[in-house]
């Protein structure tokens, strides 16, 4: 079974786990919106991520993350709150993939999930920092830090 099918088959469980973790975080803006709206937001993010994995396209997840950054920034959310929403979904997705994927497919599956989520989180942070500082912030290139490792 491929990673997209694995994630789609476990969608309800992943969203249950992520929503419960988000609720336990007691983030002020997410607490105010309520469990149903928070779950719907997680569901939308889940769909964007899984579609990006299936299509092997990072643009849509980066665009969505940028739009979320603008929306949440305007609503007064702290960047840590929004990153937490990404993180709880990521943890639930990882747990499912690791538990359900044959060992010979695990590296590729984790690589796909990590790449898409990493692109989304980078776009989120870049857009949010750009809004907070009112200037364009390019994507961070940290490859030099890891040369020779």
Tens of pLDDT, residue by residue over 12-30, are 999 999 999 878 876 666 5
Q: Which two tokens mark 133?
A: 């500082």
Tens of pLDDT, residue by residue over 38-88, are 889 999 999 999 999 999 999 999 999 999 999 988 888 888 888 988 999
Determine the pLDDT at residue 26: 65
CA distance to 2, 11, 124, per residue, from 42 (Å):
22, 11, 15
Work out the burial of residue 123: count CB atoms within 10 Å of its CB; fewer than 13 is exposed, 13-18 middle, 19 or more buried.
buried
Domains and CATH numbers, the chain: 3-141 (1.10.490.70)
pLDDT band at 136 (very low <50, low <70, confident <90, very high): low
pLDDT band at 37 (very low <50, low <70, confident <90, very high): confident
From 56-60, 80-84, 92-96, 132-136, the region with the lowest mean pLDDT: 132-136
Say how far apart CA 114 and CA 90 lie, in whole Å. 8
Mean pLDDT for 122-126 is 94
Compute φ and ψ for 84, nearest 5 degrees. -60, -40
CB contact at 8 A, 21 and 88: yes
Instruction: Assess whether pLDDT exceeds 80 at residue 148.
Output: no
Q: Is the pTM of this model over 0.75?
A: yes
């Amino acid at each position: 079974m491929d990673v997209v099918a694995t994630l789609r088959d476990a969608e309800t469980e992943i969203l249950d786990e992520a929503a419960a973790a988000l609720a336990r975080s007691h983030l002020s803006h997410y607490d105010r919106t309520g469990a149903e709206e928070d779950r719907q937001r997680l569901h939308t993010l889940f769909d964007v991520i899984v579609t990006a994995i299936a299509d092997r396209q990072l643009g849509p997840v980066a665009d969505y993350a940028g739009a979320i950054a603008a929306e949440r920034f305007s609503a007064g959310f702290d960047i840590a709150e929004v990153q937490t929403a990404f993180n709880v979904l990521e943890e639930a997705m990882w747990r499912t993939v690791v538990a359900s994927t044959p060992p010979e497919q695990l590296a590729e599956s984790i690589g796909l999930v990590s790449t898409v989520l990493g692109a989304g989180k980078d776009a989120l942070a870049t857009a949010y920092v750009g809004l907070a500082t009112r200037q364009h912030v390019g994507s961070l290139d940290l490859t030099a830090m890891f040369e020779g490792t």
